[in-house]
Homo-oligomer: A and B are copies of this chain.
Amino acid sequence: MMLKAVVLCGNPKPRSRTLALAEALAAALLPGISIVTIDLAAHADSIFAWPSNDMDELIAVVAGADVVIVASPTYKAAYTGLLKGFLDRYGPGALDGVVAIPVMTGASLAHAMAPEAHLRPLLVELGASVPTRALYFVTDNMDEVDRSVEAWVTTNARYLQATLGRDTGRHPSGA
């Protein structure tokens, strides 16, 4: 059965560099897998609306995925309120069975610990498995996205494959 993979981006700006990074990571990590992208910037009006069909649909897509790349810019040394507002709609353990990959972008290296300090605990609390390291990327270096993504995949793809219990289609070069 085909893997279900989602990129969830919590940047209030649409089509952000954070989203571009997350999509580059998805493409490198899961070649040949079609990725569903959720750009929360397009749904900001619904985040705090109850009830909301729009939100209900997105919530189901993420919870039903095998792999979710959860991406956020660094605001105040943490994930954005937009991302948290979306994830707050879940009950405890709602992402049980989902493998999540934390991805954050920031203006400087000074916030490189934000994914471990804040985003990973959030994903774990939701019940997701987070077997890999997080990816933190300084946005000044957008021309190095491919190299950073490649380095991350080389180190982490095996953890993802192991946790998923199946091949992601990603192989070390030459294999």
> CB within 8 Å of B: which residues of A?
12, 44-45, 47-48, 75-88, 90, 92, 96, 108-114, 116-118, 120-122, 124-127, 129-134, 155, 159, 161-165
For this complex, 22 residue pairs linking A to B, each with C-beta atoms less than 8 Å apart, are A44-B48, A45-B48, A75-B88, A76-B126, A78-B84, A81-B83, A81-B86, A81-B88, A109-B110, A112-B113, A113-B117, A113-B121, A116-B120, A116-B121, A116-B124, A124-B133, A127-B133, A129-B131, A130-B130, A131-B163, A161-B165, A163-B163
| A159 proximity list for chain B (CB < 8 A) | 129, 131, 163
User: What's the Cα separation between A126 and B102 when bound, in Å?
Assistant: 17
